[in-house]
């Protein structure tokens, strides 16, 4: 029974400027007549958390990978009984997703048996399992890092690959092979990514449920605070910067260089001139891998960059850390205080429970959830940051090669091709190379395609898809859909409303109530980390997402609003630590709010009100 | 001899000296629960009064001559005894001490001739308070020394109200040796007032404190005359987690001259202002938590913020009683005997509703 109505996928129409968008993505990503009956029956919504903007075809690879991986853990591996997978479709360059309708009832019982057997095992052995996981994941990342992308196509293969015996495969194959391995590693890495994530989320939802039964009014941000750990791998990059800053503050010459306005390369050059400087650089080199493999954004998009290739970011922070140390300020997070506060809160909630059985159940629910929840926090650095940084580095190497041989106008045009098309461009290039001197490739074909696609993406940015399509289900069992995307009956109502108003008319946006408190202030919309210098003290930061790369910003601002991220996202955790209100996972904040707008952030309710337009 | 003891020096061990009501105010203060400031006039002061006034003999005679079976006779004796007491003078040294304490209290609140409440506080632990202390033994808005002294005497004489005499006669308690104390307490001059529950009255959630507040006296909130602002504070994090600012069209204040309650309209443009400061809300919630801890159960509390006192000492508890709705509901366990795995399985099996 449906009482809420969205357009049917089979009836979607697109503006003429988008013409040709379909060919940018794999064919099974499109709504299709032969699947219309099934597709119209499901509920599709724009994934504003991971793909708020029109998708670059290559960047879709991570989504392709998670569609398979997330889903199979629900359906085939850990068998969350009434849940199926999360399907994806492209809607005029925007990515829509859907929690697939439940399986037939007879399957639920069978899945429940498997769930019990497999999932309880994981919870019981999580500590050892996580160690194994990290080992194999790091091995995978290292193997990608070892892939060799030639810088050029040599005029002649060197003697080294001919004598004493010909190697048998050469640069042409090496390039194609490296790309194939890269792609397979991405898919595999994302298989690993979800190994314990579905269960971490389920554990969290179970504990949140338990809390709400005992304390109906408990806020999401409080539950988040009870569950979140203080020692999380995602903070390591920042912690390493703090250590480097402390070291520098004992080395006057290093301190002077770090405090200057010079670009990173000049700083490194200057440091290498002194004993002290070289000593400091040695420490820097030691921690760069892996801790500077931190994305400047979410890690999902090729244009975000990471510390390792945007060294002005960590050097900028070092400068401010050194200055703060000079003033006698503490730069590190108060880890013990955070742990103590969490323990105090847990203890107090326990004491508020008057029934003995309830208290025991609460304690065990808390313990069970905490056993595994660190996975939800720790995998993030390793997958979205470290691993994606390595992957993008290799892609940029390939892009440079293709540009060098005039297959592309600009390096970043490579990401306008999907992962199945890139091998064709590579093969076209190496074929012409193999054929000998003076043999043309179809360079202009690719260049034209790229420029057409660039125009389509631009048009797509000026077009808004409906917030949702298809049939609203009565119930959803899929844990990510509930916890991460927050699909609730209120959200659906909001989408129904949103379809009818333009961004200028929006007076209120909603997200997760991630950190309590309410403030008003001027908004500063920052889409890329480079723009952070424009931030004035006392402003409210509005940005796509934050991660430890943004950490030093939090001492300057009044509140944070993000498009991406839930209750345990970086912004949420740091804001709770600093006592700043935060609303996260708004999805459209950077699209609707403009710098200078007067806004009110209500971190208790997860509401951002636009009070006065700039 | 000790005639005067300030509330913050009192505790339950002094019941025989200052009576149950005063002693319990002292207990609250000890537990970090601020009540309107004031002092107790001890039972010694009462005894001294009887001795100095030389009326003990006469009272005994009147009681002896009274027919304890005849209500009219009791009434007559009561009137005569109370008349005797209220006409007698208080000894100079006691009066001096009362005057000094009263002036100190007035100075403390920076209000000359501070309006106070004068209340009797019975000492007989084996007698229910109700048999001694009725409405007539509490006098509000008393200003100035003359008024204060005369009302103290009226409190003393309330030991010999017809009801009290009759009750003692019926129960076979002796009239001799009974004693009484008087409490003198600042009248609250409230800027804000209202009620506070130390659990969520709507859901029974024990982790939330719910505060209803308006400007002026609490009557506008208690009577339902005006929709108050509502604040919900998380008991564990002490953060305000929800607030509803209502349109408040009036508040109540009291005219100290006529002692009548005045209903004052609130100008249109101020009606939707938050009536209370956030820091006061949190401060009040902290006190609520202390009240709950003190009584060991969820409480229903009347409170006020006093204009004459300095923050943070201006948030005052006027009255607290056990919360009854949720406390009396027979609740079994909400979760029951379940392990984390049981709960995980339950969660995994149960989809979330998206449509109602």
User: What integer pLDDT is reported at residue B330 of this predicted model?
Assistant: 60
| Region B321-344 average pLDDT | 85
| Region A310-323 average pLDDT | 90
Bridge partners for B233 per DSSP: B209, B240
Sheet of A518-525, strands arranged across: A508-510, A607-612, A598-602, A518-525, A540-543, A559-562, A582-584, A512-515
More confident residue, A551 or A33: A33
Q: Compare CB distances from A355 to B242, B243, B333 and report the shortest one's residue.
A: B333
B333 to chain A, closest Cα gap in Å: 6
Mutation target among B210, B347, B356 for the A interface, most CBs of A within 10 A: B347
Q: pLDDT (tens digit, 9 = 90+) per residue, A438-463?
A: 999 999 999 999 999 999 999 998 88
Residue B130 binned pLDDT confidence (cut-offs 50, 70, 90): very low
| B332–A218 C-beta distance less than 8 A | no
Residues of B in contact with A357 (CB under 8 A): 333, 335-338
User: What integer pLDDT is reported at residue A501 of this predicted model?
Assistant: 66
User: What integer pLDDT is reported at residue B178 of this predicted model?
Assistant: 81
**Alpha-helical regions (H) of A353-438:** 356-380, 388-404, 422-435
Q: pLDDT (tens digit, 9 = 90+) per residue, A368-416?
A: 999 999 898 889 899 999 999 999 999 999 999 999 999 999 999 999 9
Q: pLDDT above 90 covers what percent of chain B? A: 64
Q: Compare CB distances from B338 to A81, A218, A361 and report the shortest one's residue.
A: A361
User: What integer pLDDT is reported at residue B351 of this predicted model?
Assistant: 85
The sign of the CA dihedral A273, A274, A280, A285 is positive
| Region B79-105 average pLDDT | 94
Q: Is the peptide bond before A164 cis (omega within 30 degrees of 0)?
A: yes
User: What integer pLDDT is reported at residue B44 of this predicted model?
Assistant: 94
User: What integer pLDDT is reported at residue A558 of this predicted model?
Assistant: 94
Contacts of A364 (CB under 8 A, 6+ apart): B338, B339, B340, B343
Q: How many CB atoms sit inside 10 A of residue A279's CB? A: 13
Tell me what ipTM this predicted complex has.
0.86
The answer on pLDDT for B150 being more than 80 is: yes
Question: What does each C-alpha distance from A570 to A345, A494, A520 come to in angstroms?
Answer: 21, 26, 22
Two tokens at B213? 């507040």
Q: Compare CB distances from B340 to A214, A348, A368 and report the shortest one's residue.
A: A368
Residues of A in contact with B356 (CB under 8 A): 489
Residue A4 binned pLDDT confidence (cut-offs 50, 70, 90): low
| Region A309-314 average pLDDT | 92
CA torsion angle A119 A121 A123 A128 (round to 10): -130
CA torsion angle B183 B184 B190 B192 (round to 10): -30
User: What integer pLDDT is reported at residue B169 of this predicted model?
Assistant: 85
Q: How many CB atoms sit inside 10 A of residue A444's CB? A: 11
Q: Three-state secondary structure along A528-568?
A: CHHHHHHCCCCCEEEECCCCHHHHHHHHCCCEEEECCCCCC
User: What integer pLDDT is reported at residue B124 of this predicted model?
Assistant: 61
Bridge partners for B302 per DSSP: B195, B319
The answer on pLDDT for B128 being more than 60 is: no
| Region A15-24 average pLDDT | 96
Q: Compare CB distances from B344 to A217, A225, A368 and report the shortest one's residue.
A: A368
> B348 in contact with A at a CB cutoff of 8 Å?
yes
> A210 in contact with B at a CB cutoff of 8 Å?
yes
- Rounded to the nearest angstrom, the gap between the alpha carbon of residue A234 and the centroid of all alpha carbons in its chain is 12
Burial class (CB in 10 A: 0-12, 13-18, 19+), B24: middle
Lowest mean pLDDT among A137-141, A387-391, A415-419, B170-174: B170-174
Closest by alpha carbon to B132, among B100, B90, B83, B173? B173
The answer on pLDDT for A503 being more than 80 is: no
Q: Compare CB distances from B354 to A219, A225, A476 and report the shortest one's residue.
A: A476
Sheet of B116-122, strands arranged across: B4-6, B38-41, B180-186, B116-122, B138-142
Two tokens at B120? 């009797």
- Rounded to whole angstroms, the Cα distance separating B185 from B37 reads 6
Q: pLDDT above 70 covers what percent of chain A? A: 98
Q: With contact defined as beta carbons under 8 Å apart, do A97 and A47 qualify?
A: yes
Own/partner pairs, A431-434, CB within 8 angstroms, 24+ separation: A431/A172, A433/A153, A433/A171, A433/A172, A433/A405, A434/A172
The answer on pLDDT for B99 being more than 70 is: yes
Closest by alpha carbon to A68, among A46, A92, A85, A90? A85
Q: pLDDT (tens digit, 9 = 90+) per residue, A97-121?
A: 999 999 999 999 999 999 999 999 9
The sign of the CA dihedral B33, B36, B37, B43 is negative
The answer on pLDDT for B315 being more than 90 is: yes
Residue B298 binned pLDDT confidence (cut-offs 50, 70, 90): very high
Residues of A in contact with B353 (CB under 8 A): 474-475, 489
User: What integer pLDDT is reported at residue A149 of this predicted model?
Assistant: 96
| A115–B355 C-beta distance less than 8 A | no
Q: pLDDT (tens digit, 9 = 90+) per residue, A506-537?
A: 888 888 888 888 899 999 998 777 777 788 88
User: What integer pLDDT is reported at residue A146 of this predicted model?
Assistant: 97
* φ, ψ (nearest 5 deg) of residue A562: -125, 155
Residue B34 binned pLDDT confidence (cut-offs 50, 70, 90): very high
Lowest mean pLDDT among A525-529, B43-47, B288-292: A525-529
Two tokens at A98? 């859907």
Work out how many CB contacts closer than 8 A connect A with B. 164
User: What integer pLDDT is reported at residue B131 of this predicted model?
Assistant: 47
More confident residue, B353 or B282: B282
Mean pLDDT over the full length of chain A: 91
- Rounded to whole angstroms, the Cα distance separating B156 from A238 reads 72
The answer on pLDDT for A277 being more than 90 is: yes
Pairing of strands B299-306, B190-197: antiparallel
Contacts of A196 (CB under 8 A, 6+ apart): A122, A126, A129, A130, A133, A372, A375, A379
| A209–B237 C-beta distance less than 8 A | no
> A115 in contact with B at a CB cutoff of 8 Å?
yes
The overall longest dimension of chain A from CA atoms, in Å, is: 85
More confident residue, B218 or A497: B218
**Which residue in chain B has the smallest CA separation from A478?**
B351
> B135 in contact with A at a CB cutoff of 8 Å?
no
The answer on pLDDT for B135 being more than 50 is: no
A366 to chain B, closest Cα gap in Å: 8
B293 to chain A, closest Cα gap in Å: 11
Q: With contact defined as beta carbons under 8 Å apart, do A393 and A309 qualify?
A: yes
User: What integer pLDDT is reported at residue B256 of this predicted model?
Assistant: 66
User: What integer pLDDT is reported at residue A568 of this predicted model?
Assistant: 66
| B206–A352 C-beta distance less than 8 A | yes
The answer on pLDDT for A230 being more than 60 is: yes
């Amino acid at each position: 029974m449906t009482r809420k109505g969205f357009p049917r996928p089979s009836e979607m129409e697109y503006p003429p400027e988008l013409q040709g968008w379909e060919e940018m993505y794999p064919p099974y990503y499109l709504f299709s007549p032969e699947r219309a009956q099934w597709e119209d029956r499901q509920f599709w919504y724009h994934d504003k958390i991971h793909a708020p903007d029109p998708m670059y075809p290559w960047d879709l690879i991570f989504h392709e990978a998670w569609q398979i991986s997330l889903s199979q853990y629900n359906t085939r591996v850990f068998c969350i009984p009434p849940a199926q997978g999360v399907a994806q479709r492209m809607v005029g360059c925007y990515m829509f997703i859907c929690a697939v309708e439940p399986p037939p009832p007879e399957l639920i019982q069978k899945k429940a048996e498997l769930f019990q057997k497999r999932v309880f095992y994981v919870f019981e052995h999580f500590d050892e399992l996580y160690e194994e996981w990290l080992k194999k994941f790091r091995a995978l990342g290292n193997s990608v890092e070892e892939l060799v992308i030639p810088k050029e196509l040599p005029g002649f293969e060197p003697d080294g690959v001919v004598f004493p015996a010909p190697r048998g495969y050469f640069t042409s194959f090496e390039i194609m092979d490296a790309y194939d391995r890269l792609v397979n590693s991405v898919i595999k890495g994302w298989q690993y990514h979800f190994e314990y994530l579905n269960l971490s989320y389920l554990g969290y939802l179970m504990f949140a449920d338990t809390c709400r039964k005992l304390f109906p009014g408990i806020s999401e941000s409080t539950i988040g605070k009870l569950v979140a750990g203080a020692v999380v791998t995602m903070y390591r990059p920042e912690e390493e910067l703090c250590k480097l800053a402390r070291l520098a503050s004992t080395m006057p010459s290093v301190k002077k260089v770090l405090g200057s306005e010079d670009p990173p390369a000049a700083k490194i050059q200057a440091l290498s001139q002194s004993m002290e400087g070289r000593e400091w650089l040695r420490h820097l080199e030691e921690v760069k891998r892996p801790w500077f493999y931190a994305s400047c954004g979410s890690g999902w998009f090729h244009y975000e960059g990471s510390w390792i290739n945007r060294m002005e970011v960590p050097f900028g922070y070092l400068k401010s850390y050194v200055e703060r140390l000079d003033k006698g300020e503490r730069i590190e997070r108060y880890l013990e205080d955070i742990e103590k506060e969490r323990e105090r809160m847990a203890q107090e909630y326990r004491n508020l429970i008057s029934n003995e059985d309830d208290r025991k159940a609460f304690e065990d629910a808390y313990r069970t959830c905490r056993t595994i929840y660190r996975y939800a926090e720790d995998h993030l650095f390793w997958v979205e940051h470290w691993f994606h940084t390595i992957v993008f580095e290799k892609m940029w190497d390939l892009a440079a090669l293709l540009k060098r041989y005039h297959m592309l106008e600009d390096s970043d045009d490579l990401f306008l091709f999907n992962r199945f098309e890139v091998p064709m461009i590579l093969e076209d290039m190496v074929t012409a190379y193999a054929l000998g001197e003076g043999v043309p490739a179809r360079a202009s074909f690719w260049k034209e395609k790229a420029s057409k696609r660039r125009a389509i993406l631009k048009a797509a940015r000026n077009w808004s898809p409906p917030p949702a399509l298809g049939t609203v289900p009565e119930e959803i069992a899929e844990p990510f859909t509930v916890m991460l995307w927050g699909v609730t009956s209120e959200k659906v109502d909001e989408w129904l409303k949103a379809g009818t108003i333009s961004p200028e008319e929006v007076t209120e946006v909603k997200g997760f109530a991630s950190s309590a408190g309410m403030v008003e202030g001027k908004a500063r919309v920052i889409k890329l980390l480079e723009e952070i210098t424009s931030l004035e003290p006392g402003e409210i930061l509005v940005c796509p997402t934050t991660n430890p790369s943004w950490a030093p910003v939090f001492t300057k601002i009044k509140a944070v609003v993000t498009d991406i991220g839930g209750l345990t996202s970086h912004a949420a955790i740091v804001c709770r630590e600093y006592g700043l209100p935060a609303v996260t996972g708004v999805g459209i904040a950077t699209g609707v709010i403009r710098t200078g707008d007067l806004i009110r952030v209500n971190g208790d309710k997860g509401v951002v009100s636009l009070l006065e337009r700039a | 001899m000790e005639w005067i003891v300030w509330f913050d020096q009192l505790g339950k061990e002094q019941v025989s000296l200052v009576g149950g009501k005063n002693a319990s105010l002292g207990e609250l203060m000890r537990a970090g629960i601020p009540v309107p400031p004031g002092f107790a006039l001890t039972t010694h002061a009462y005894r001294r009064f009887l001795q100095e006034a030389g009326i003990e003999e006469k009272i005994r005679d009147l009681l002896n001559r009274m027919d304890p079976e005849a209500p009219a006779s009791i009434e007559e004796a009561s009137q005569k005894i109370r008349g005797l007491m209220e006409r007698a003078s208080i000894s100079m040294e006691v009066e001096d001490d009362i005057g000094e304490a009263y002036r100190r209290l007035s100075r403390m609140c920076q209000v000359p001739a501070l309006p106070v409440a004068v209340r009797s506080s019975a000492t007989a632990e084996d007698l229910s308070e109700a048999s001694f202390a009725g409405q007539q033994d509490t006098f509000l808005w008393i200003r100035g020394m003359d008024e204060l002294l005369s009302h103290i005497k009226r409190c003393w004489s309330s030991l010999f109200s017809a009801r009290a005499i009759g009750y003692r006669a019926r129960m076979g308690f002796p009239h001799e040796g009974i004693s009484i104390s008087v409490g003198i307490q600042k009248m609250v001059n409230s800027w804000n007032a209202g009620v506070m529950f130390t659990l969520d009255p709507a859901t029974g959630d024990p982790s939330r404190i719910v505060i209803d507040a308006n400007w002026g006296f609490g009557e506008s909130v208690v009577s339902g005359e005006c929709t108050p602002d509502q604040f919900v504070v998380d008991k564990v994090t002490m953060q305000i987690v929800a607030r509803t600012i209502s349109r408040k069209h009036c508040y109540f204040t009291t005219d100290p001259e006529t002692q009548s309650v005045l209903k004052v309209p609130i100008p249109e443009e101020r009606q939707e202002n938050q009536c209370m400061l956030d820091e006061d809300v949190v401060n009040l919630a902290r006190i609520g938590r202390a009240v709950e801890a003190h009584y060991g159960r969820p409480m229903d509390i009347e409170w006020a913020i006093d204009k004459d006192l300095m923050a943070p000492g201006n948030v005052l508890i006027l009255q607290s009683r056990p919360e009854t709705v949720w406390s009396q509901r027979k609740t079994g366990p909400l979760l029951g005997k379940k392990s984390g795995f049981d709960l995980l399985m339950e969660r995994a099996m149960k989809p979330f509703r998206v449509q109602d």
